[in-house]
Chains A and B, each alone.
Chain A
């Protein structure tokens, strides 16, 4: 394990940055979660029907509103999320996206021409496939008559893909849209320096041999040093990990709290994986390699092992380490979003309603990762719900410290009043409802693909646990954030 964590740290250091994600969890949670696990185990033995009837009776009116179209999540799938540089290493982004699309086709059996539109989210773009949605759709065998576009909004890119789909359906433009996300960190565009690019572009235009030779002669050694993808927030030049460390310090989040949360994430993810709860994961035959059917970043360690790691960003006194941060991940996800009418007409049993959602943004320097804090009260207000109404929370875990900081911010009247212009705090999610099948820290975080994973997980957990309302929330680079309320589809 030590070896592994060192490798892990190295990979992390070599490339991390500028992606973001998020998650939340409050209080030290190991003991809580174990008692919860017992309860959960017990629950899963009982029959689904029983559970659902219980829940349905104790609640809770539907969030359907007159005049607002009901939009449903029919199904969601994802490729296994793998540490970058592992089994997917030789693929291209659209290969992963294609696998997710094919998985969705297979799972839903939807005819390849029954979809009206396809939207994908991605963050680090492969320049050859800048509209990766289109390339993946064509390769997956969808009709070439289906338009496709690609969106980018840092770690909430696939959330944006989903809400764009909701928009298209709500506006009556489409009835069935596939949304998804993909990120491929095993290969990123590394460019020639600006000077070299300029020389090469001039070379194209040079007409005579003399002009060409003089251009070639102007190349200096310094021109040859490559330009790596920016590792920092463009506006502030600060890496995300560094910002997360400062955020944790600002909210007084200790190293131990962070390590405990990270351990919780890995432990819960392992359990969910072992119990077969991660049903959104499809098997993927990687060309030239074996069939991959499991996430490979889940590694419950021990507090002692984690305590040995050195801080990755703020040295020597920082608290964010490779082990309590999300790691660089390859993966893709896809969901089928439809109007309720259309889904029912096609004979589907939807998983959930996609209800209210919000996007927020704030100072990209000091509040880079506080998206969930800002988005949560807003979306709850829109839906007319309170924190205690929510049965299932899925927050994106960018860094354990970031989750803890968000939880503390959400629990602070002072913060709500001083920075959010609210009368009082929104409160914190109950930990026994929070990211129970692991999160980005353990499952992995392919930036562009995480949003769909969160939504599908909420839908699956609502079904499994018998809850009615779920909430997803995420932070993203640029100081942005997103939250969405999801309602279970009546059984």
Chain B
């Protein structure tokens, strides 16, 4: 017998306990080696007459099987190769499904993608009710579909609506929910300390329970025919009518088209596979699944999404090493939207957080925001009210600098005015200990200007969070040439603890993200002046793949902030940032149209209703600054490229100037911070796939009409000249 490294088994009584453990990784993936050994082991189990049933379990705490090996899929040259991989997977799971000896999947930790498809091919599933146990089919988020029988088995198991929901959103399902959905058959509670560590003993306990289940199924004490609830029966009955099913396909298709604007092929293919399987039977269904899987794997969308996945993983690591001291006490200045948001994502990680404001009203509002953020989680039952209260005990709200002598880091989120920032930095430096880091959550002011007031510029850094802080994943960290490496390492460590995806960029006006956004916003203002309605502007940008339309985005960010930034960056970068007239924004601010926060911006916001109308009063302003559009560059498509090319050009320029360390962080920052279309994978991947030369040609065309706002930067020109140059290899 050859030695196996990934899959092994032992026989306990008449039950084979099959253990999976990839020795080279923290998680188990269905790699070629894993599949090969699994097949060998299962054949031995089936051949062995002393074995009547089997339990499939992972030896890794926190991971059952996290999915298929992405590199294996990416390694394939053609769709046909990928299709073949899919068919091999289908075949293996078909054998599992038809196993004459019952197989119980014992799930602890992530059971995702191919892992879930494996589990649902088994006869029975037992899962630990732990927070780490999640089930799901995240393939769609990588532009793929569940290609090993998932599109065929899931609808049978959980019903069409739930199956669509799982496969189209890719969301993680916790164990207790999975039980309710009948995705798992039995739950096992995680155990506390005993004679072994809780993790170790919990896996043992899971195995013991699973073995009992396997025995029970083998000797028919446990029935595999599940009692269906009344609702389930009604649902099944309703689903037996073809017109009902057709209605579902239609509704789901409509929803997908509405949300994806048809820019993402995977969801549509998922619907197609499910439909084929349900309406034409398994043979056609499995075939459709494997073929579509092959096709999807080779789409640019999938490549973009997988690129983002890898990028995200890379940006969750601290490339600056471990900081000398951990930040245990964090002080935040300013309890506004940002300050309170930062506090919220810090307290729930166990960081003692001081939230300081200058007024009682401001402080109360900020503390209420943190409370509400956590209380919403209790309403969703992701934490208990007790946990909420105990998390909040990490928060100290105050008006004075008391306790700052213990702070390891101070993040200021005060008003964006360099004089106020200077005042604050001086006040803070008078009370903090020498090791304490001073971070500024500015979105546009250069950090070196802020650090000019500091006695210890090596301890000053920028930490640019995005609003709303608890929802937006990105954190842009800005270092000056004086910022020490340990300061950077510490800021990254704090951000990672807060659950952020982090890019670290160089200093300069607008850093990376704000700087990319500004020219696009300038172009948007010009479009408004040219008579494009805000709704039309939103439609054009979302139609290109931005999750939020530009007019809406401006309202969310705040028209005042946008005006401020446009003016500052306009001064710093000159005419390249021109286009729209800043006065449009300024006039709006003067009239109180500051965006959502003031109730009026591009749109009118009324509490309690989601329907928004265009603010009728901006018509007059736009009339005043009206421009005549040039028809040669004003088609819908040209308008989209006018917006995007300015964004992309500025991003490439940031790389050229060394603001960005690498294209990967540029892509992550644009997608996670600014909503650059994920299907394009970020500005740099977009240049690669769209073609730098094509983009340059377009820009030249616009440049002829509008001037140097559209002048392509040198790096972009280099790439245009040499088509072998790519940002991503």
Contact = CB atoms under 8 A, between A and B. Distances in A.
Do these two chains interact? yes
Contacts of B189: 242, 245-246, 249, 314
A414 interface: yes
Nearest to A250: B194
B384 A237 contact: yes
A317 B188 contact: yes
A424 to B, nearest CB: 15
A236 interface: yes
B210 to A, nearest CB: 10
B192 A246 contact: yes
A415 B386 contact: no
Interface stretch (A149-157, A168-176, A361-369): A361-369
Interface in B209-246: 209, 212
B194 A251 contact: yes
B576 to A, nearest CB: 58
**Interface size for chain B: under 10, 10 to 19, 20 to 34, or 35 or more residues?**
10 to 19
A412 B190 CA distance: 21
Nearest to A251: B194
B195 interface: yes
Contacts of B194: 247, 249-252, 405, 408-409, 415
A366 B191 contact: yes
Contacts of A245: 189
A367 B212 contact: no
A249 B205 CA distance: 7
Contact of A247 (B192, B209, B212): B192
A235 interface: yes
A111 interface: no
A245 B209 CA distance: 14
A365 to B, nearest CB: 7
Given A236-B384, A236-B386, A316-B186, A246 B193 contact: no
27 contacts: A235-B384, A236-B386, A237-B384, A237-B386, A246-B189, A247-B194, A249-B201, A249-B205, A250-B191, A250-B194, A250-B198, A250-B201, A252-B194, A252-B195, A252-B201, A314-B189, A317-B186, A317-B188, A365-B192, A367-B192, A367-B193, A408-B195, A409-B195, A412-B195, A418-B193, A418-B197, A419-B193
Contacts of B197: 418
Interface of B: 186, 188-198, 201, 205, 209, 212, 384, 386
B69 to A, nearest CB: 34
B266 to A, nearest CB: 39
Nearest to A368: B192
A234 interface: yes
B386 A234 contact: yes
Interface string A302-342: 00000000000010110000000000000000000000000
Contacts of A412: 195
A164 B190 CA distance: 38
Nearest to B194: A250
Contacts of A251: 194-195
Contacts of B186: 316-317
Contacts of A363: 192
Given A237-B384, A249-B205, A317-B212, A414 B188 contact: no
Interface residues of A, number: 27
B191 A249 contact: yes
Contacts of B209: 317
Contacts, number: 61
A453 to B, nearest CB: 29
Complex A-B, nearest 8 residue pairs according to Cβ-Cβ distance, in ascending order: A366-B192, A250-B194, A250-B191, A251-B194, A235-B386, A317-B209, A246-B189, A249-B205
Dominant SS among interface residues on chain B: loop
Residue of B188, B189, B201, B209 with most partner-chain A CB within 10 A: B189
A414 B197 CA distance: 10
A144 B414 CA distance: 64
Contacts of A414: 195-196
A251 B201 CA distance: 9
A249 B206 CA distance: 10
Interface string A412-453: 101100110000000000000000000000000000000000
Nearest to A317: B209
A481 to B, nearest CB: 15
Contacts of A235: 384, 386
B193 A250 contact: yes
B384 A246 contact: no
Nearest to B387: A235
Given A249-B205, A316-B186, A317-B212, A366 B386 contact: no
A415 B192 contact: no
Nearest to B196: A414
B195 A415 contact: yes
A366 B193 contact: yes
Interface in A233-285: 234-237, 242, 245-247, 249-252
A383 to B, nearest CB: 27
Given A250-B192, A317-B212, A366-B192, 19 more contacts: A236-B384, A237-B386, A245-B189, A246-B190, A246-B191, A246-B192, A247-B192, A249-B205, A250-B193, A250-B195, A251-B195, A252-B195, A252-B201, A366-B193, A367-B192, A367-B193, A405-B194, A412-B195, A414-B196
A365 B191 CA distance: 10
Contacts of B191: 246, 249-250, 366
B199 to A, nearest CB: 11
A234 B387 CA distance: 11
A41 B129 CA distance: 50
A419 B197 CA distance: 10
A315 B548 CA distance: 47
Nearest to B202: A250
B414 to A, nearest CB: 37
